[in-house]
Structure 1
Amino acid sequence: MTLKKLEHEGGGSWEDNLPYVLFAARHTPSKTTGYSPFKLLYAHSTWAPLDILYDAWADPAHVDWVEELPKIQKNLQAAWTVAQATEVATQERVKIKFDQTTHSRSFEKGDQVLVLPMGATRPLETHFSSPHKILGRRRDLNYLVDCRKRRAKWLHRNLLKLYQARNEEAPKEDTNS
């Protein structure tokens, strides 16, 4: 998508734009991690284009970089702009897909909740503990839960599940049919 967009907007073939797109993708810090893929892989920052040009200027056998510099800057800027737009579109698409499968959990003071024990050693065998009462709320994420024998604790909503008591009475079947 990015190569097609650059080819359409800036001209030139995709082979000419490929190094610039790859550079922009590998060296642009991600908004989610704050680091570029290059830095995460090699644990140090990459050389910037001016660092490369400095080495090339030191060696007179290289191409005339004074003429090439504006072209490189233009291509890098175009690749960076397209990479940023693609990243924003991808993040929005992923968020929409994620939001389709999630539901908001909120509790009110006095609600009965089940508590997932923290530090469970076997994640597939975890069980919620018996019902506890919500005593308070801090914003939408943290709730003060009465832990009976211990002090009340502030717990994140991901550790809580609304308690629904079972009806002791079995549902009556319709005998008219």
Structure 2
Amino acid sequence: MYQDLRKDYWWPGMKFNVMQYVNKCLTCAQVKAEHQKPYGYVQTLEVPEWKWEHITMDFITKLPLTAKRHDTIWVIVVRLTKSAHFLPIRETYTSERLSELFVKEIITRHGVPVSIVTAYHPQTNGQSERTIQTLEDMLRACIIDFGGSWDDHLPLVEFSYNNSYHASIGMPPYEALYGRRCRKPVCWGGVGQKEVGSKAAVIELTEKLQLVKARMKAAQDRQKSYADKRRRPIEFEVGDQVLLKFSPWKEVIRFRKRGKLSLRFIGPFRIIARVGKVAYRLDLPDELSGIHPTFHISHLRKCLVDDVAYVPLNDIEVDERLNYIEEPVAIVDTKEKQLRNKMIRQVKVQWKHRKGFEATWETEDEMKRLYPHLFET
């Protein structure tokens, strides 16, 4: 804009005035990508005092469907000892079903945790993400070497992971959890009676936990120093206007409506309170009443637009994590499609996604796998 104007006009401070004008454009602020360092220094979590009191959890979805009808892995990691449980589940499990599984597999063995850090917590230091990377690599290797379904190899993968050396704690998770190395089938050394409950064993376990916590603190400080070099500080005041970043699901592309061309930011919204060092509470409209109003600073962008410049969100349906919700409502029609070598059945599905979206033709087998409740009636 400045290059176009300077050909015919000039006034003192012209370039600065043009920059201010562009910064106040709501459309530009909502769609332009960020090319600067992200906001907010890393705020590391405190090192836990005891085992299985503080955990993280995440889900690996969209895996190949196995013979046992599993397509998702629930990854649960202990923050102190780094020991993990990998639970095969289905993506369609309800929260009640997951709660029952959590009680059966975790609480009955280790007790009730004090805190749970989920995948959308912005300060996990990549704990769950790094574990998931390792798990996926191990599953790929098992499938290549042994074949079969991935859930058949999951118990041995968990055993191998928990008995592998971790640099952040300086020992395998099993040793950090139980105070001694696990007896592996590769070498059955040390067979015989062992004294487990001696005073020396308790002292050794306590010393190892102190060593683990010291190594974790050093690893966190090292990770923080690396991450902060690629970040920049910023602070907002109560009453400031900000834009909120949200991420549409990739499946939105199937609707041929926006998809990748969706807005990067929505708003503006007014800050009503500061929560901690790197989080703020926003005054969200009624359309977003189901979303928790506190957000990390990395999800916010400063907005210089006037208060009256507000785009309503009546036509957008998002969940509590600011994702588009893809949910089929009903099957309105069926047909058969002839391919080169076979005939496939298709169903026309009406989606509850965004107002005005038309129904789409989908493969019947795929819809039965993902949404079996549509075919019950």
Structure 2 length as normaliser, TM-score?
Answer: 0.24
- Give the helix-richer structure, 1 or 2: 1
- Give the strand-richer structure, 1 or 2: 2
Over alpha carbons, which structure has the higher Rg?
Answer: 1
